Structure 1
């Protein structure tokens, strides 16, 4: 004999009648209904579904004996197996059923009438539970009633947004004070949990794990967005761009978002003004790039840059990258002779001044890479005659290049020519 006992007759009868009625219309096609009839049928079906869900939740909340009779850990585990449902979904419904049965009788009643749907119930219970206990039971009950009323006009996403500010509707006299407390708690929590961790991987990259307050993260992303320039199609993967480097290939694909943000992070750091950073050891915070005179002149070989994460305090970079950094980054280039003597300890005056950059932007409204349309405000200043070869930092010796073309002009794989109009044309070396 089965240990499963039939539900009370009225509940069983209601389910049986509903299933029998639906079975009776199984072969009737809604295709032939009028527009108005289809509208009514869809909305009534939504209400019926809510009523069925309410009965299921109400039964799950009191069906612990079913799980016990089958030796199951909980009724959700038994039910998921019995009806071949997703256990995680059923278990979430069981938790919600207990919450609704214990504390949300008004929401349960609305669900039983088809006035709210399951997702709206999840939002209502979550928003009310988020209210601090200090507001009192009466305020929470009023918030629940107000959210049920709002559910008649708003879906789950909009209802969730309204729920975050429900006190301004349910208890406006304490809403501002509670907002202040809540935000203070959030900010205190964010400050306690904030962290920055660096972990060198060993392959030339370092993993950086950030956990910061939402406002800080938003500001950081805003700054990075300023460098990604998503409106211009020329910011593309350099491996996919044609030999002219101008982004003329119609089949090129934009860098994925995470690559764009990484590139933007690099550019943001390179454009920080070290003179505005705190002093360290009596000197301004500076990055020093050390390179031999031969490597500097030829653009071949390696250089080093200061790196506090490295056991040696330095990281190797290519000579071409060192020459590029000397154009734009707030770095100090240290040039060494054959016996490692310092031939020149460059100062930041080698960098283009604000006045020269303004003049360059007036003269070069877009990147001077042939065919490139990246506007001047996104570009970097470059010495036409490298400073390593005696080039001066002046308007006449300067040109604006976007980040992509600035990398390319220092790339030993490519050569370039200056066209009569001053644009730069790139081509692979033979």
Structure 2
């Protein structure tokens, strides 16, 4: 079957499996119309048969995609198309990245003699691509830790094939690896727990734009990670003195984020506070923040005709700020990032053309930061007090809204409480005493109750009077 025949076959399948627009579904001319008019009880057996057949067809198609990807790699097509791999070609043809990379892995499994039964099941349509990929990865997990003879390898493959889901396959593979690992390592062989060549880390973007991270570390790297996280995972009392409401998982995640920020910010920087750009923030000119547009040079508005995001006159009514790796973010989060000048800001016009790129913005000079450290002595949020080296410099009146860079417009905040100020309803202001004061969010049960200002952490008292930290 050549490409022309295959295209004609795909057209035929499309015509039979879907309903043409404007067709009367009461006349069951094809499978699509049958599915549209299927009735409870009467068509139950037929629906089950159709579901099984369609799933088998999908599995066979996935095998064909994997085989095609393997052929693309074998003939060197990616190099001639100036892309990195066969998976990249599939992605450019419309496949989701996860699907493309899975097809590439299965394409490699097709030529592996030890995975013949897995690939045969996929080719016959009895096993899904997800299950086949999990089995192949599971076998790799075991063989990476234990030397296996062919008979044991086939036994493991067969045991993984009968699991009910990819998650169960992965669990079974880990169980095999633990069972077969020698109790006492052979002389000259590094124990599995100490092998850094088995270290793995995955970052998977979720549907809502978050990133799920999994880490498999050797014992030494894990010890170093634990040592880095330990002092940052301690509970921090809430402003009212109550226990930290964060779960252990939340505290650990906050600590990991702080370690990353510190590494990026403190690379070859003096303790007084010079920072290097570590976040690239792209801001379309159509994004208006509180009536003003960010200027990457002097923090003032720019005098060009623009349209607010969502305006009918805008070129793109979904124009939002973007991070280099993370993708779209809200203007409020962009404000949070802009507070600590460790960003390389790129201001884009409505067509995505850079207006100004790569200008480093060092908002708080070393001298001002030293003054902030002397005054705030760490995170100023009531009840926190994390050391200054873990803190951002926050502009009380935002820089992009015309706020100046000065001691009387700055406050030190750890990233957790910096986020609370931007997203949690808390407010901060510099009082007549030239000290930061914090205002808690409104009480939803008593919206008219006065929001009593609270002193900064460095000025905590032992009094129970209102407003004491």
TM-score range, shorter-chain basis? 0.3 to 0.5
TM-score normalised over the length of structure 1: 0.44
Q: Normalising by structure 2, report the TM-score.
A: 0.41
Q: Which has the larger radius of gyration?
A: 1
